[in-house]
Chain A
Amino acid sequence: MNTSEGGSAPLPTPPPEGCAGKASARTDASLLKRRNAKLVGGVVIGLVLCLAAVLAPWLTPHDPNRQDLSAIRRPPVWMGGAGDHPLGTDSLGRDLLSRLLWSSRVAVMVAVGATLCAAVIGTPVGLVSGYFRGRVDTVLMRVVDVWMSIPAVLLAIALMAVLGVGLLKVILAIVLVDWTRFARVIRGEVLALREREFVEASRAIGLGPFRIMAEELLPNLVPLLIVLASLEMAIAVGVEALLSFVGLGVEAAVPSWGSMIAEGRGYLLVGWWGMTLPMLALVVTVVGFNLLGEGLRERLDPRLRTEAAR
């Protein structure tokens, strides 16, 4: 957002569904069900993903990098494939199920790592900027504006070209590209919170600004942070996939949905599962995180003035 002053821009809020009075009872129920469905869906997907990531080494007998040149491009089990490769194999005979599962580890590590770091960097900036306002705010938000002038994808690619490939470097690149999101949104929220009575009260009894930020503001930001974190995880997974797709992501020896999609694309018409299965895994994961974030947002505080998902 380039209008950083005063946070006065009327950011479109997600529908306060069901709480505007005249809705019928039937609407209420169905909306509530929908909201719950989102949350449930998100949580389920998140759990499945974590389980897959943690249990990957035990869920399949195959080494994800073990090639078996006598078993290339075998179809999944429901299309006539053998049981030892339930989801089939790729063009070098590597088991797709194991590769998909091991890729989920990459996804989880990137999602959690990048989100944590981006939050750790962006939140203090947002807090300081929103609380102190004035010159500090202007300077910090200018930095954020300038940072955001470079399109995210371009910056990510440039960073990876400089840093070289690797999981940690991918996380670093994502953090560098996306920390500004946390800063902006937190700042917006702090601008509103600081006017509330409890903050006034703390100021009145003489608490220093940093104590106020840590003890009063931060706890109130937790719901927002949780929502942001979920959405950020979705973005992180998407960016990692993009980088791996073009070969600028994780190392060549590490399986990742993005690189699997790129590989599978090469033999799409004779083995559609090679590209489609990782794509499906990616989509379900990203959608899952988004559902989680939205479900949480609607559940935790429908009045949250968060920017519509971005």
Chain B
Amino acid sequence: MSVRYLLGRVGLALLSLWGVTVLAFVVLRVIPGDPALLMAPVGASQADIAEIRAQFGLSGPIWLQYVAWVWGTVRGRFGKSLWLQQDAIRVILERLPATLELALAALVLAVAGGILLGVLSVLWRRTWFESATLGVGTLGLSIPNFIWGLLFIVFFGALLRWLPISGRIAPDFDMAPLTGFLLVDTLLRRDPGAFASVTAHLILPAAALALPLLAVVFRAVRSDLLTAVNEEYVVMERMKGLGELRIIFWRALKNALIPTTTLVGVQFGFLIGGTVLIEAIFSWPGIGQLTLAAFQYRDFPLIQGIVVVYAVTVILTNFLVDLGYAFLNPKVRYA
């Protein structure tokens, strides 16, 4: 693909990153309450507080503070989390795989589920199935994912008790993480019981997270397929005796790929934002679970780290999606 396109994408990514650093910087200085006082232990003297101010770069001219902040961010130094008393970036990076695994699982569920439902709803159109899926589509789109999460916990966790509703794996499985992606780790360690446990724990939160995106993918696939089934050449092919399923299915896959890619790009930001609440509800030990507490405790180092890491994830994903899209759609590459 053209170098110009690539550079353009990189430029956009960098610009977005810069914008995010500005935002995270501003956050620290706009939140009510003196941050230095918050970070100081009980009974600290004025001298102690001044020292904390210096340590966190809260003193001096604002532009200098910003430069110091950016320099620190680039090196990944956000300071020590007040609440967890550990280096903020380390805590975040330790927990990041959990969030990524959840988000990716949700993504896979959404895309696969959406395509499947889309195909089936067109295949079995004008039946109750189609109406049912349309209903699901609307509900999935409208209902906020945290509500789905709560509903799942109530039904599948508390009432029916089919699936676990907190954590990533049953604590009986004592596993020091290798990659942090437990699905991978349990396979690497050839422990099917652990793998099953991880999968079971992943189902409900990933499903809650996935539903809105699933509905969107479903709609898109369905709309494309509905156009397709009415087109001339399909009618011709049908007359040739080819199975309808085959036609629909292949057409779905081929043509769904491009729009789905763009959809995913847009939606991934929403999806990953959803992890904040879903992780809190399901006690999922990722960075989302940290987020609410970090804001409540006014843990600035952690807040800044979280905001930057989330933004980087989204920017990177968009970048990759753009590359993928350009790969699939040659028209865009040489713009």
Contact = CB atoms under 8 A, between A and B. Distances in A.
Nearest to A141: B12
Nearest to A289: B142
A87 B125 CA distance: 40
Q: Which of B32, B138, B296 has the most CB of A within 10 A?
A: B138
A34 B315 CA distance: 39
Given A9-B262, A157-B291, A146 B318 contact: no
B126 interface: yes
Contact of A11 (B30, B259, B272, B318): B259
A261 interface: yes
Contact of A246 (B30, B267, B292): B292
A150 B335 contact: no
Given A14-B223, A265-B150, A309-B219, A154 B291 contact: yes
B13 to A, nearest CB: 9
14 contacts: A2-B12, A8-B331, A13-B223, A14-B223, A30-B126, A150-B307, A150-B314, A151-B269, A152-B273, A154-B291, A238-B142, A261-B150, A290-B141, A308-B223
A200 to B, nearest CB: 24
Contacts of B253: none
Given A23-B230, A142-B15, A308-B263, A283 B223 contact: no
Given A153-B276, A154-B310, A310-B270, A15 B227 contact: yes
B31 A309 contact: no
Q: Which of B158, B266, B311 has the most CB of A within 10 A?
A: B266
Given A12-B220, A21-B230, A150 B311 contact: yes
A154 B227 contact: no
Q: Which of A11, A27, A154, A279 has the most CB of B within 10 A?
A: A154
A158 B307 contact: yes
A164 interface: yes
Interface string A242-272: 1001101000000000000100010011000
B332 interface: yes
B78 to A, nearest CB: 15
A287 to B, nearest CB: 5
How large, as a class, is the contact surface on chain A? 35 or more
B219 to A, nearest CB: 5
B31 to A, nearest CB: 5
Contact of A1 (B16, B262, B298, B303): B262
A234 B144 CA distance: 10
B5 to A, nearest CB: 10
A268 B158 contact: yes
A226 interface: no
B222 to A, nearest CB: 7
A106 to B, nearest CB: 16
Given A2-B321, A268-B158, 14 more contacts: A1-B262, A2-B318, A6-B335, A11-B262, A12-B259, A20-B227, A151-B310, A155-B273, A234-B142, A261-B147, A261-B150, A290-B142, A294-B138, A310-B216
A308 B314 contact: no
A17 interface: yes
Q: Which of A3, A153, A162 has the most CB of B within 10 A?
A: A153
Contacts of A246: 277, 280, 292
Main secondary structure of the interface of B (DSSP, over half): helix
Interface stretch (B19-27, B85-93, B171-179): B19-27
B227 A279 contact: no
Interface string B136-158: 00110111101100110010001
Contacts of A290: 138, 141-142
Nearest to B272: A151
Interface string A1-41: 11101101111111111001111001100100010000000
A9 B144 CA distance: 27
B307 to A, nearest CB: 7
Interface in A17-76: 17, 20-23, 26-27, 30, 34
A2 B150 contact: no
Given A283-B147, A290-B138, A149 B219 contact: no
Contact of B332 (A8, A154, A268): A8
A130 to B, nearest CB: 17
A153 B227 contact: no
B223 A152 contact: no
Given A21-B230, A150-B307, A164-B32, A310 B143 contact: no
A37 to B, nearest CB: 11
Contacts of A148: 269
Contact of B146 (A26, A157, A164, A242): A242
B327 interface: no
Contact of B273 (A153, A241, A245): A153
Contacts of A283: 139, 142-143, 147
B250 interface: no
A287 B274 contact: no
Nearest to B146: A242
Contacts of B315: 149
B230 A12 contact: no
A151 to B, nearest CB: 3
Contacts of A30: 126
A161 interface: yes
A153 B307 CA distance: 11
Contacts of B151: 279
A170 interface: no
Interface in A133-180: 142, 145-155, 157-158, 161-162, 164
A101 interface: no
Contact of B226 (A15, A26, A268, A287): A15
